[in-house]
């Protein structure tokens, strides 16, 4: 009885007529009434909704007037929705549409990769295989995506697993191939003059010792050595000779330069992508794109924490104007020192600093910076 009332119940009042006879007849015929309370001229009670019509027929025979005071239960709450045909039609269409859309990428999960690897892997899959949120996935696309990740050279192993709209990207970073000291068949020569500090022989015969001064072009490692019995043996020359020497660099920096500077104005251009279809969104252009600084990114929108199966390529343009920039001597000197260090790193990445001498002069709005670094580095010619 309680379950019936929970689904659909009616609270009513009975007035006039033979109310006591109606209660007796309802009990005899199995019409269960609950919460029966006496009222002036009759009574009030509650019954299941589907029993109310039979009770109303008995009430008419005994000239009892029934009045529904309240309808309760889930049925009366859902009845307005049950009468809407469009709602049921939409539900019938939604289920097959949902099953069909499981073949589209709703979410990409590259959580096993680092932040940089995630960005590069997504870019490779998007540009080479058209695998992105909203793409229709086939086994051929997954195989092509795995090969694309491997051919990029960044990953030694890759796997794409797709199920129910979720694409899981797993990959292992490729380890750099160790350099193999092949050695030189004609010996190793010095590329600059200096004083030998230490040596590291890999193959061949070391021809210099620490503390020895060497000249540019002097042999450092030879290709011949002898066994204990005097037998000559040929070996390719390989190794490193670290020497102390001076490295000079001259850098000029103008005090007035013409450069592009941002004005603060910007606008964005967005393109919605879904399974190979691109829909450009309207945009109001504030300035020309040709001279602007453009920064692009691809995002996947979300709604209430749910990833939507499409992506938006957003390109933001920042306006730039040509302006003259004046540097103080301190700023120009700092730039000159930076560029000199960059040149030193390009020439000798393994350099160890010992000392330095600087000479600074300014003439015709140009700063001239001359520096002599005393360093320890490998002087073996490549």
Distance CA 113, CA 126 (A): 17
- Where residue 314 falls (left for φ over 0; alpha for ψ -120 to 50; beta otherwise) is beta
> Which residues are paired to 280 by β-bridges?
271
Residue 289, pLDDT score: 84
Sign of CA dihedral 239, 243, 248, 253: positive
What integer best gives the mean pLDDT of the chain?
A: 86
Residue 212, pLDDT score: 92
Q: Is the pLDDT of residue 2 over 60?
A: no
Q: Is the pLDDT of residue 71 over 60?
A: yes
Q: Are strands 224-226 and 219-222 parallel, antiparallel or unpaired?
A: unpaired
Per-residue tokens: 213: 């001064």
Residue 271, pLDDT score: 93
Distances (CA, A) of 300 to 167, 271, 310: 14, 12, 6
């020192």: which residue's tokens? 337
Half-sphere exposure of 291 (CA within 13 A, CB side): 13
Burial 205-221 (b: 16+ CB within 10 A, else e): bbbbeeeeebeeeebbb
Q: Is the pLDDT of residue 187 over 90?
A: no
- Where residue 35 falls (left for φ over 0; alpha for ψ -120 to 50; beta otherwise) is left
For residue 39, what are the contacts with CB-CB under 8 A and spacing of at least 6? Answer: 13, 15
Half-sphere exposure of 292 (CA within 13 A, CB side): 20
pLDDT (tens digit per residue) in 200-251:
988 888 889 999 999 998 999 888 766 676 677 777 888 899 999 999 999 9
Residue 88, pLDDT score: 73
pLDDT (tens digit per residue) in 285-327:
878 888 899 999 988 888 887 888 888 999 999 999 988 889 9
Of 86-90, 127-131, 176-180, 332-336, least confident by mean pLDDT is: 176-180
Residue 230, pLDDT score: 65
Q: Is the pLDDT of residue 1 over 60?
A: no
pLDDT band with cut points at 50, 70 and 90 for residue 272: very high
User: Which domains are assigned to the chain?
Assistant: 2-78 (3.30.70.260), 107-173 (3.10.20.310), 188-244 (no CATH), 250-255+327-378 (no CATH), 258-324 (no CATH)
Distance CA 114, CA 14 (A): 75
In 255-310, beta strands by DSSP E: 256-274, 277-280, 293-299, 302-303, 306-307
- The answer to whether 204 touches 241, Cβ cutoff 8 Å, is no
Write the DSSP assignment of 180-214 as a string of letters. Answer: P---BTT-EEBSS-EEEEEEEEEESEE---TT-EE
Residue 38, pLDDT score: 87
Write the DSSP assignment of 315-365 as a string of letters. Answer: EEEEEEEEEEEEPPHHHHHHHHHHHHHHHHHHH-TT-EEEEEEEEEEEETT
Percent of the chain predicted with pLDDT > 70: 94
Residue 75: what are its φ and ψ, rounded to 5°?
-60, -45
More confident residue, 244 or 5: 244
pLDDT band with cut points at 50, 70 and 90 for residue 180: low
Residue 3, pLDDT score: 56
> Which residues are paired to 273 by β-bridges?
278, 311
pLDDT band with cut points at 50, 70 and 90 for residue 259: confident
Which candidate, 236, 220, 224, places its Cα nearest to that of 182?
A: 236
Sign of CA dihedral 146, 149, 153, 157: negative
Which candidate, 265, 299, 310, 260, places its Cα nearest to that of 284?
A: 265
pLDDT band with cut points at 50, 70 and 90 for residue 177: low
Distance CA 237, CA 205 (A): 7
- The answer to whether 219 touches 189, Cβ cutoff 8 Å, is yes
Distance CA 359, CA 236 (A): 44
More confident residue, 187 or 177: 187
């Amino acid at each position: 009885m309680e379950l019936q009332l929970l689904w659909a119940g009616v609270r009513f009042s009975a007035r006039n007529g033979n109310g006591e006879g109606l209660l007796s007849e309802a009990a005899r015929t199995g019409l269960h009434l609950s919460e029966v309370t006496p009222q002036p001229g009759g009574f009030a009670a509650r019954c299941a909704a589907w029993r109310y019509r039979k009770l109303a027929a008995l009430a008419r025979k005994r000239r009892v007037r029934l009045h529904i005071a309240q309808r309760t239960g889930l049925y009366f709450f859902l009845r307005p929705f049950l009468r809407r045909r469009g709602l049921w039609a939409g539900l019938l269409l939604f289920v097959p549409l949902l099953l069909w859309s499981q073949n589209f990428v709703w979410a990409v999960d590259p959580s096993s990769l680092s932040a940089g690897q995630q960005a590069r892997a997504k870019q490779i899959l998007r540009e080479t295989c058209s695998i992105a949120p909203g793409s229709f996935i086939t086994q051929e696309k997954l195989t092509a995506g795995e090969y694309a990740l491997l051919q990029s050279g960044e990953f030694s192993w890759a796997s794409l697993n797709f199920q129910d709209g979720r694409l899981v990207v797993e990959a292992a970073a490729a380890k750099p191939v160790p350099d193999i000291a092949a050695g030189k068949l004609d010996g190793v020569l010095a590329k600059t003059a200096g004083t030998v500090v230490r040596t590291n022989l890999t193959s061949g015969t070391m021809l210099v010792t620490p503390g020895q001064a060497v000249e540019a072009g002097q042999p450092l490692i030879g290709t011949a050595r002898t066994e204990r019995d005097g037998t000559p043996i040929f070996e390719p020359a390989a190794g490193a000779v670290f020497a102390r020497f001076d490295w000079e660099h001259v850098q000029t920096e103008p005090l007035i330069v013409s450069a592009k500077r941002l004005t603060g104005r910007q606008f964005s251009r967005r393109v919605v992508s879904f399974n190979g279809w691109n829909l450009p969104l309207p945009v109001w252009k504030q300035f020309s794109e040709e001279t602007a600084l453009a920064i692009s990114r691809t995002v996947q929108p979300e709604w209430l924490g749910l990833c939507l199966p499409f992506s938006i390529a957003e390109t933001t343009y920042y306006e730039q104007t040509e302006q003259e920039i004046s540097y103080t001597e301190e700023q120009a000197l700092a730039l000159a020192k930076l560029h000199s260090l960059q040149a030193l790193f390009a020439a000798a990445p393994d350099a160890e600093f010992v000392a330095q001498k600087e000479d600074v002069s300014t003439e015709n709005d140009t700063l001239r910076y001359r520096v002599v670094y005393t360093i320890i580095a490998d002087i073996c010619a490549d």
